[in-house]
Amino acid sequence: MTDLLLRDARVWGHETLTDLLIRDGVVAATGQDLSADGAHVEGLGGKLLLPGFVDAHAHVDKTMWGGPWVPHDAGPGLMGKIRNGVERRDEIGLPSVNYITALLQQMIVSGTTHVRSHVDVDTTMGLAAVDAVREAVARLDGRISMEMVAFPQAGLLISPGTAELMDKALAGGVELVGGIDPAGLEHDPVRHLDTVFGLAEKHGAGVDIHLHDGGPLGVWQYDLIIDRALALGLQGKVTISHGYALGEVPVAEQDRVIARLAEAGIGLATVAPASAAPLPLVRLREAGVPVGAGNDGVRDLWSPYGNGDMLERALFLAQRSRFVRDEEIEIALEAATYGGARLSGRRAGFAVGDPGDFVAVDVRTPAEAVCVRPVRSLVVKGGRVVAREGRLV
């Protein structure tokens, strides 16, 4: 593969313009006036260069992106959405490799270079969604990387047979094991979590658990998850998704849990919902707890919203967190880049050895990038130009 030389980049966090040479998918050299020797050269002319965006919480298997408009029609609550999703997906033809591919393309042109997607595994569909996501990713031929979470959307204990399917998915290479509201949905939190962590241990897989349960009930489950991560030595391999509860309890209780999260090496993924309590991002950051951001479902039977754009998600996260200063807004952008990468144990940045995953935008500061959400001038994945001016290359 030809080397790529990014010339005159305004690298996030640095004042002077820099060149970056990307060889074999990773940064091989940085500095001024690097030699172009045989490399493909992209002159950035002072454009801002950011690490490729990481969508740390997606549900690409459910999307209807690129299809006709489907008015939202789910019953109330989590169970109403679960039932509606299962009942209507056949009629609409979900999971659809075409829709998933269309959404991934949209993500790529928006600057996303890596996605963690929860993928439904259930007893009526089996592993069809896993297969569909794999096929869509294959169609995009390396323009975006993907890790999957075997996700028991319809419940694990309440849907007998699901654990066996998740076991099969993990044996087949799915990277992480998922869980969902061990108390609120499953009504047996200890057995739910023991099953999830048992699968993780068996397969050496990571863990990513949906936790919508609020207040003290949610925080109590934080503790159950932390206990298991510590006992099994899974530091750096466990994520709690949503985890609204942490934003709902008193500050002293938040701080107790944050200290334990840091000790257990657990990270959080947030989709910055418009109405749930925001996570305490600043104190999580001070404690060293990684926080990633994700778009959640994009135009699916769960929600009519979303467009796959991580800069827009960073905007939502910043606004919900009442961030207004540049250094605050950058915390939201960190979640869309470095934070998501950390959850996945991936490197991100501008140093030699970091992956050649970058986005260039024609603005002057990272905060401006979040506020303006400009067309992505250039998207680079593994040292290859994959999108330019909002269009797939």
Nearer to a second copy, 5 or 298 (CB): 298
Q: Is 94 left (phi over 0), alpha (psi -120 to 50) or beta?
A: beta
320 binds a second copy (CB under 8 A): yes
Measure the CA–CA gap between 329 and 323, rounded to whole angstroms. 6
274 binds a second copy (CB under 8 A): yes
Q: Transcribe 308-319 into DSSP letters.
A: S-HHHHHHHHHH
77 binds a second copy (CB under 8 A): no
Q: Is 106 left (phi over 0), alpha (psi -120 to 50) or beta?
A: alpha
Near a second copy by CB under 8 A, which window of 152-160, 170-178, 193-201, 365-373? 365-373
Q: Which of 15, 37, 250, 325 binds a second copy (CB under 8 A)?
A: 325
Q: How far is the CB of 272 from a second copy (least distance, A)?
A: 9
Near a second copy by CB under 8 A, which window of 114-122, 181-189, 238-246, 302-310? 302-310
Nearer to a second copy, 120 or 309 (CB): 309
Near a second copy by CB under 8 A, which window of 88-96, 107-115, 130-138, 315-323? 315-323
Give the dihedral of Cα atoms 128, 129, 133, 139; nearest 10 deg.
40
Alpha helices in 204-339 (DSSP H): 215-231, 245-248, 251-264, 281-286, 310-320, 326-334
Who's near 104: CB < 8 A, 6+ residues apart?
A: 60, 115, 136, 137, 140, 144
State CA 293 to chain mean position distance.
6
Q: How far is the CB of 69 from a second copy (least distance, A)?
A: 5
Q: Which of 316, 338, 350, 358 binds a second copy (CB under 8 A)?
A: 316
Near a second copy by CB under 8 A, which window of 35-43, 83-91, 175-183, 366-374? 366-374
Of residues 193, 122, 194, the one with CA closest to residue 162: 122
Q: How far is the CB of 218 from a second copy (least distance, A)?
A: 19
Who's near 144: CB < 8 A, 6+ residues apart?
A: 104, 107, 108, 112, 113, 114, 115, 137, 381, 386
Bridge-based pairing of strands 18-23 and 26-31 is antiparallel
Who's near 254: CB < 8 A, 6+ residues apart?
A: 246, 247, 280, 283
271 binds a second copy (CB under 8 A): no
Q: How far is the CB of 19 from a second copy (least distance, A)?
A: 24
Nearer to a second copy, 16 or 275 (CB): 275
Q: Which of 4, 315, 343, 360 binds a second copy (CB under 8 A)?
A: 315
Near a second copy by CB under 8 A, which window of 21-29, 174-182, 304-312, 384-392? 304-312
Q: How far is the CB of 88 from a second copy (least distance, A)?
A: 14
Nearer to a second copy, 162 or 295 (CB): 295
303 binds a second copy (CB under 8 A): yes
- Taking CB under 8 A as the criterion, which residues in 51-70 touch a second copy? 68-69
In this structure, are residues 314 and 332 in contact, taking their beta carbons and an 8 Å threshold? yes
Alpha helices in 150-241 (DSSP H): 162-171, 189-203, 215-231
248 binds a second copy (CB under 8 A): no
123 binds a second copy (CB under 8 A): no
Near a second copy by CB under 8 A, which window of 18-26, 116-124, 215-223, 323-331? 323-331
Near a second copy by CB under 8 A, which window of 3-11, 54-62, 142-150, 368-376? 368-376
Measure the CA–CA gap between 265 and 267, rounded to whole angstroms. 7
Nearer to a second copy, 187 or 305 (CB): 305
In this structure, are residues 66 and 102 in contact, taking their beta carbons and an 8 Å threshold? yes
Eight-state DSSP code of residue 335: I
71 binds a second copy (CB under 8 A): yes
Interaction site with a second copy (CB under 8 A): 68-69, 71-74, 274-275, 299, 303-307, 315-316, 319-320, 322, 324-326, 329, 363-365, 367-368, 371-372
